[in-house]
Amino acid sequence: MTQDKVRYPGVGCLVEFMQGNSPTLGIVTEEQSGKLRVYTQNKRETPMPASRLLPWCGPQRGANLSRTSMEAALEECRAQREALLASIDVLELWSCVQGEAERATADSLAGLLWEEPTVHHEAALGRALLACKTHFRFAPPDFEIFPEAVVQARLTEAKALRLREQVASAGAEFFRQLWEFFTGKRPTAPVLHDATGEMEARLKSVLLQRIADPETSEDEALWKLLVKGLPEHPHHALGLATAWGLVPPHYNFWLDRAGFAKGQAWAEPFADVRTALREAVGTQLASLPEEPFARSSGQGHLPLMAADPSTTKDRDDAFAVEALPDGSFLLYIAIACPALVWPFGSTYDKTILRRASSIYLPEGDEHMLPEDAGWQLFSLDAGKERPALVLQTRINAQGEATGAQLSVARVTCTANLPLPVAEESFAVAALVLGPNPLAPEQNHEALPWGAELFLTEEEQCCASAPSTCLPEGHPAQPLLESLTAALALSRVLQARRVAQGAVVTERPMPEVTLAGEGNAVTVVFSEEPQTPLAHTVVGEIMVFANAAMAGWARDNGIALLFRSQDVGIPKEFAGVWSRPEDIARVVRGLPSAGLSTVPRRHAGLGLDVYASCTAPMRRYIDLVNQGQLVHAVQHGTPLFTQEALQDAQPLIGACAEAVGQVQRFRPRYWKLLFFAQQGDKKWWPAVVTEENPAFVSVTVPFAQLFVRGRTALFNEKVAPGQALEVRLGKVNPLLNEIQILEVREL
């Protein structure tokens, strides 16, 4: 036991107790049944239970001490103990005792350092142990001695805490200045002064992490300290990072939230996998039978055609159509076939799963698959042999399919038609076929490239000799017979779907392009001609293909990721809708479709069963479905059981939804920026799509932009379908805000 130590302190005994986080000296002036009054080194007298005292009391200085004597005694004791404290190497002590004992008193530990320790030695050591929280913990009357693993963890935690405090101290003011610069209240960007590299890296990490996940709980306390005092805003991190130059202006944070890496660098770690895929395709291609796309007569071959936007590089699908004398059709559909060699379940596959889908944006396309092991390997490019999943069937004049067959074959596409070129051909075909009662607005009165290709009205001969209506050397001229058959088939398929309750919306999709970079970027709406006929033909044939393959899978007991909308839809919703007010009305009544491994009806498409299968290079869901079909065709069984597919469905669906948000929200950002750049003085043509007592919704047709305004801005007799003009302002693309400032009737 240490010398001068008192077990039961009485009047005149020096004691220590914790005040705040520090030991404080005092002298007992009164004692009664464990209740004390203590005169402290702060020159105050305070009541105190004996249980609050630290377990090193003493020495005893006698009763009836004057205030001056007590203060002198306390100062002498303080100086002596602080001098002793300075001589203690508490970490060396820990290294000697850790692993030997789990707990010890300050008294026993003092005996290891001094031969005849006094209460001053014990108190000084006790203070050192209390301060060394990473290695010891006070559990009165003992000190717990942490093992090395715990110490290392606590040291790391303590270091992180110190760094957080330093970062918060330096970063809060810097962030305030950054925000002022971002919001235009400060003319120049601030500079982060007196910060270590580690502090700067931490600030950058916090910002980038918050951009990717605004709801993250990591570094929550630090984040609150950094943005304390800033005005409320949902995109603090993005604004601060932009002002700091960590991300460029108009940064696409949706990609970060989806975990979607831009460019091709993400694929570099998988070089071996990509090489193996290329080799596997070559091997498989040599062993596949060739699909000749034979005509129904067996004489000659049908041209296999792909119609896509001019910039498309990943051509997933192509078709060949023959119109038969009895009004029926022979249809071949070829789907690019990466699933034939795909390493499902690998790390590479899981990476592609999380990418989920290709993305097509004004600032550029981002492909789900890497360039060299994606569209360069599988795309149905004209004149190149490719592996394909081929659907062959006959469809009667009422749109009913019979004898659907699936095969895996080697195919060669005859032609890749850009949509504008295909549109010209379908316009000629429309003149041959006559009006389409379902979509009369698609019946062209003139060809889209201009009336100069016609002679006089008397000399027009499109109906009798349609190929003469195309310019000489037109790339679609040799394909016109097949293209006319494809247009006729698409009308039959669409009519059947509508008869079964399908809701078909047709709206011109504006082409948004960007000029310039950074803050100097300018948004432009392209004046490229629309291609409604081409979109309808390709769309209807691919919807049919997805339904036919889903039906084949259902009939053969093959589980797919089916897309269903098994709900009741009013009969009056069925039809082809193109007016903005009609589209808004029917879309409001349609719930979202969902994924399921059980085949169910898709009411909005007017189909008994549907699964997305025709874009395996662009959508992971399609890739999985193709894997099921290809394995079933080649081996008689699916690649995955229904249970395995059901277990994978939540993650696949969540990744698809996250990437889908990028495709939905990002184009609207650029549209809003366009209107912000145009100013609030211009008037824009609009159509009322919805009205109620609180607000009126309008569509700006050329931009396909939907805007809501207060009812008070409109005439009392406003109604859906009414044409008017609006003045738009108070636009904030980042906050998805735009307001109708003024309305005038036409």
pLDDT tens-digit map of 355-378: 999 999 999 999 999 999 898 999
Backbone dihedral region for residue 573 (phi beyond 0: left; psi -120 to 50: alpha; all else: beta): alpha
pLDDT at site 307: 93
Q: Return the percentage of the chain with pLDDT > 70, whole number.
A: 96
Residue 232 clears pLDDT 60, i.e. is over it: yes
The answer to which of 316-320, 582-586, 656-660 has the lowest mean pLDDT is 582-586
For residue 342, the SS3 value is coil
Parallel, antiparallel, or unpaired for β 512-515 and 522-525?
antiparallel
pLDDT at site 464: 54
Asked if residue 94 lies in contact with residue 131, where contact means CB atoms within 8 angstroms, the answer is: no
Residue 474 clears pLDDT 90, i.e. is over it: no
Which tokens hold the place of 121?
């030695």
> In whole angstroms, what is the distance from residue 320 CA to residue 315 CA?
15
pLDDT at site 465: 58
Q: Phi and psi of 497, rounded to 5°? A: -65, -45
Segments of the chain assigned to CATH 2.40.50.140: 679-745
pTM exceeds 0.75 for this model: yes
Sorted by sequence, the CB contacts under 8 Å of residue 65 that are 6+ apart come out as 12, 27, 73
Asked if residue 226 lies in contact with residue 219, where contact means CB atoms within 8 angstroms, the answer is: no
Report the amino acid identity of residue 181: F
The fourth-level CATH superfamily of domain 679-745 is Nucleic acid-binding proteins (2.40.50.140)
Residue 713 belongs to what H/E stretch?
none
Task: Tell me the per-residue pLDDT of 58-87, one tens digit each, with 9 for 90 and over.
Answer: 999 988 899 999 999 999 999 999 999 999
Residue 462 clears pLDDT 70, i.e. is over it: no
Range 565-573 contact pairs with CB under 8 angstroms and sequence separation of 24 or more:
565/590, 565/591, 565/592, 565/593, 565/594, 565/601, 565/602, 565/603, 565/604, 565/605, 566/600, 566/601, 566/602, 566/603, 567/591, 567/603, 568/603, 569/501, 569/503, 569/603, 569/604, 571/501, 573/501, 573/503
Q: What is the pLDDT confidence band of residue 439, given thresholds at 50, 70 and 90?
A: low
Backbone dihedral region for residue 433 (phi beyond 0: left; psi -120 to 50: alpha; all else: beta): alpha
Range 367-373 contact pairs with CB under 8 angstroms and sequence separation of 24 or more:
367/313, 367/314, 367/617, 367/618, 368/617, 368/618, 368/619, 368/620, 369/314, 369/338, 369/617, 370/264, 370/266, 370/267, 370/270, 370/274, 371/264, 372/274, 372/278, 373/267, 373/273, 373/274, 373/277, 373/278
